[in-house]
Amino acid sequence: MTMSAADTTVIFAKLEAVKDIRSKTVQLEKMKSRIVQEVEQTEQEDKCLMEYKQEMELLMQEKMAHVEELRQIHADINAMESVIKQAEEARNRARDHAKLIHNNEYQPLKHDIDRMRREYLGLERLPELYETETDLIAPDYFDRPMQKAEWRVEVRGEDLMQPLGMHGHPGHSGNSTPFLAPQPIQGPSKPEQRPLPPATGPPAPTFRYHWQQPPPMKSCLSCHQQIHRNAPICPLCKAKSRSRNPKKPKKKD
């Protein structure tokens, strides 16, 4: 049985169509594979983004905690500067009052007593105030100018991690009132000190700084750096963080 020219043309056309279909089908499968691969990559990156956002939220919470600590530290520094200024004013008032009594009342009365002892009784003069109070008053105590203290606080990094109450005044025992009392003035000879009468003034402010425990940390198994305990991804080396004590799956009954 012989085929006509028309049948031959149809058969060749079908063969060409099969060849073209096969070629395009292979191309379609490759495109499908690429699409699936890109979708899987998209899903994987989406999961990573969720983990990164969680890590970012933890870091922002930690940052805000430090910001609040610094704000409270600055507020306490301002309050401490006010207390220091009040203490200096109280000290200066006590010093001026003592100098006024010494020069205008004590010295004239002592000179009069010394004169009467010498003229009527033949006795020696009374000892000077600095001779009896050598541990407190120097000979030139009332002639020396009162020096203004220059307060320059250098805050180190480890100091920021400690509450302000740990750096209190040496004589501070928990009550804020002694802060306003003038400090004893030390003489040149003996270390013993006698406190002056406390000066009146407004009470010292209550410091608002409270110690906040640092967030729990753990070591990254890849770079061994300290990261947040709940961080799923190490922010330094981008390695996934795995628990050293993973939960065991429950056994099915």
Q: CA 232, CA 217: separation in Å to the nearest integer?
A: 12
% of the chain beyond a pLDDT of 70: 66
pTM: 0.43
- The pLDDT tens digits for 195-212 are 444 444 445 455 444 445
User: Of residues 244 and 85, which shows the higher confidence score?
Assistant: 85
Statement: residue 241 has pLDDT above 80: no
Summarize pLDDT for 174-195 with one digit per residue, the tens: 444 333 333 443 444 444 444 4
Cα radius of gyration rounded to whole Å, the chain: 43
Burial class (CB within 10 angstroms; exposed 0-12, middle 13-18, buried 19+) of 246: exposed
pLDDT of residue 244: 54
| pLDDT interval class at 149 (50, 70, 90) | low
* pLDDT, tens digit, 9 for 90 and up, residues 34-80: 999 999 999 999 999 999 999 999 999 999 999 999 999 999 999 99
- What single-letter DSSP state applies at residue 253? -
Cα(62)–Cα(179) distance, rounded to whole angstroms? 34
Instruction: Give the pLDDT band of residue 169 (cuts 50, 70, 90).
Output: very low
Which pLDDT value is given to residue 178? 37
CB 167 within 8 A of CB 223: no
User: What are the extents of the domains in the chain?
Assistant: 64-143, 215-241
Q: What is the pLDDT of residues 72-121, one digit of tens each?
A: 999 999 999 999 999 999 999 999 999 999 999 999 999 999 999 999 99
Task: Name the residue among 88, 154, 102, 157 with its Cα closest to residue 133.
Answer: 102
- Distance (Å) of CA 36 to CA 15, 43, 73, 235: 31, 11, 55, 29
Report whether pLDDT(154) > 80.
Answer: no
User: Encoding tokens for residue 222?
Assistant: 């890849």
